[in-house]
Chain A
């Protein structure tokens, strides 16, 4: 079945450092989405990427979708303590309805 892997599993940074998480799907995706889950919370939608090679920015966050539509990355510039949480990528396949296959997640901790 479809698998989505994410690395790293954990990342511990000092405030102000950059952070990147990478996502790789075993199958071609129709789109990829990114979610953030704070400790004790629920996943919250960040972005959806649909086009091959697409790059989108949200303030300090930059999202990329690979040319083959099988991988993606999320880069945070100059992390802040408010960035703490687990970041998940989630892929959708054509014909799969709204089923999301989630990556394993990257837990980000930010120290002052």
Chain B
């Protein structure tokens, strides 16, 4: 089985711009979660989608949003980028037991 695929791998954006990140989960996994990883805050949960519905949401501002398509692929969007949004964004697809498989991440740099 192919693993979790995230695109793009690297992004450089300017403050105020918006960005869309993409995630293709492992075939058969209906749950996709997004995490932000920074040196200061560690790994923080953004949101989880299951069968196209947002099932859980972390404590991030409304500038962070996501969606899931009928084929389980997911996107997350960050609008009005701030310098503090620079991070590694990780997507994980999960089995029914909750075991998570992570993609390689998208490294976002905001300048």
- Closest residue to B94 on the A side, CB-wise? A98
Give A14 Cβ to nearest chain B Cβ, in Å.
26
Contact of A42 with B48 in the complex, beta carbons under 8 Å: no
Which label, helix, strand, loop or mixed, suits the secondary structure of the B interface? strand
In angstroms, Cα B42 to Cα A105, docked, is: 8
Decide if B100 is an interface residue (CB 8 Å cutoff).
yes
B97 contacts across to A, CB distance below 8 A: 48
Chain A contact-residue range equals 20 to 34
Contact of A33 with B100 in the complex, beta carbons under 8 Å: yes
Contact of B104 with A42 in the complex, beta carbons under 8 Å: yes
Chain B contact-residue range equals 20 to 34
The answer, among A31, A33, A43, A44, for a CB contact under 8 Å with B43, is A43
Give B20 Cβ to nearest chain A Cβ, in Å.
20
Best-buried of B45, B48, B100 by chain A (most CB within 10 Å)? B100
Please give the residue numbers on chain A whose beta carbons come within 8 Å of chain B beta carbons, in ascending order.
Answer: 1, 31, 33, 35, 41-45, 48, 88, 90, 92, 96-105
Please give the residue numbers on chain B whose beta carbons come within 8 Å of chain A beta carbons, in ascending order.
Answer: 31, 33, 35, 42-45, 48, 50, 55-56, 58-59, 90, 92, 94, 97-105
